[in-house]
């Protein structure tokens, strides 16, 4: 039987701290939150592996180190409104719910959203609104958001999502390389009404389905 408490400690000490995850509040949440509960029973033994966990239908639970670093660079604050795009089984939303005022968790897959809702209820976690719909459209009804996390890699951030950033808001995701090479985590910030981004670190996160960039005309 897997000792999940030990696995959590090993994740924090072996995967996160050595990879520049140093925010004390975030580390405390990651050491406490049972990541395995956000996975189906058959996958719980690999919940703390240093890798993305395949969930089927092209979806993955993001590697702990990459997810933790993305959340850390967002610098979430207690009064922030957050949105998690492609929230999957709810783990990233659960982390942000402990760091912000509220979280809109947008998920296209109804079965995943239902599983996330049940897990969050079982764990007694509040402050998370489940939003059904196309993930690449975000949750405009609740905009603007101070913090946006896209929980997976995308070729580019859809304008529909970046438009939902508040002034001074931050968005983090992994930008996938179209050639299939390693992607790069990016932080985007809205200042003066303009959203600009910068690369941060390499990340091998799989690309999310449904986030293909819009077609461009060629001559």
List, for residues 63-78, the tens digit of each pLDDT value: 999 999 999 999 999 9
Cis peptide leading into residue 120 (ω within 30°)? no
What share of the chain in percent tops pLDDT 70? Answer: 97
Between strands 165-175 and 145-154, the pairing is: parallel
pLDDT value at position 211?
86
pLDDT tens digit sequence for 174-203: 999 888 778 999 999 999 999 999 999 999
Write down the pTM of the prediction: 0.95
The DSSP-derived string for 143-208 is: --EEEEEEEEEESS--HHHHTTEEEEEEEEEEEPPTTSS-EEEEEEEEETTEEEEEEEEEE-PPBP
Residue with tokens 């005022």: 101
85-142 residue pLDDT tens: 999 999 999 999 999 999 999 999 999 999 999 999 999 999 999 999 999 999 999 9
What is the predicted pLDDT for the residue at 15?
A: 98
pLDDT at 205 over 90: yes
């Amino acid at each position: 039987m897997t000792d999940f408490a030990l696995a959590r400690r090993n994740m924090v000490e072996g995967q996160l701290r050595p990879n520049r995850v140093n925010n004390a509040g975030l580390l405390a949440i990651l050491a406490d939150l049972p990541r395995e509960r956000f996975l189906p029973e058959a996958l719980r033994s690999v919940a703390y592996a240093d890798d993305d966990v395949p969930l089927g239908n092209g979806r993955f639970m993001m590697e702990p180190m990459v997810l933790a670093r993305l959340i850390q660079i967002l610098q979430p604050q207690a009064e922030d409104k957050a949105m998690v795009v492609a929230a999957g089984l709810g783990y990233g939303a659960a982390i942000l719910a402990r760091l912000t005022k509220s979280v809109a968790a947008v998920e296209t897959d109804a079965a995943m959203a239902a599983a996330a809702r049940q897990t969050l209820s079982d764990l007694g976690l509040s402050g998370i609104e489940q939003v059904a719909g196309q993930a690449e459209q975000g949750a405009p009804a609740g905009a603007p958001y101070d913090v946006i996390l896209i929980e997976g890699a995308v070729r580019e951030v859809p304008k529909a999502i970046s438009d939902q950033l508040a002034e001074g808001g931050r968005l983090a995701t992994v930008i996938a390389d179209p050639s299939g090479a390693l992607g790069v985590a990016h932080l985007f910030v809205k200042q003066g009404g303009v959203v600009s981004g910068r690369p941060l670190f390499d990340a091998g996160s799989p690309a999310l389905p449904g986030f293909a960039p819009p077609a461009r005309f060629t001559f």
